[in-house]
Copies of this chain bind each other. A is one copy, B any other.
Amino acid sequence: MKIILAKQAGFCFGVKRATQIAFEAAGKGGKTFTLGPIIHSPQVVQKLEEMGVKALENVAGMDEGTIIIRSHGAASDELEEAVRKQLDILDATCPFVKKAQEHVKNLSNSGYDVVVVGDADHPEVQGIVSYATGKVYVVASGEEAVKLPKMGKIGVVAQTTQSFENLRHVVDACLVKGGEIRVFHTICDATAVRQEEAKKLASQVDCMVVIGGYNSANTKRLAEVSAEIQPRTHHIEMAQQLDPAWFEGVKIVGITAGASTPKWIIDEVLEQIESIAKDKNR
Contact = CB atoms under 8 A, between A and B. Distances in A.
Interface in A152-182: 164, 167-168, 171-172, 175-176, 178-182
A175 B183 contact: yes
B168 A179 contact: no
A184 interface: yes
Contacts of A182: 180-183
A179 B175 contact: no
Choose among A164, A167, A176, A183 the residue with the greatest number of B CB atoms under 10 Å from its CB. A183
A183 B181 contact: yes
A192 B134 CA distance: 33
A: interface residue count bin: 10 to 19
Contact of A185 (B164, B179, B183, B185): B179
A149 to B, nearest CB: 16
Interface in A96-150: none
Contacts of A180: 182-185
A257 to B, nearest CB: 27
B171 A167 contact: no
A185 B181 CA distance: 8
Contacts of A171: 171-172, 175
Nearest to A169: B172
B176 A184 contact: no
18 contacts: A164-B175, A167-B175, A168-B172, A168-B175, A171-B171, A171-B172, A171-B175, A172-B172, A179-B184, A179-B185, A180-B183, A180-B185, A181-B182, A181-B183, A181-B185, A182-B182, A182-B183, A183-B183
Interface of A: 164, 167-168, 171-172, 175-176, 178-185
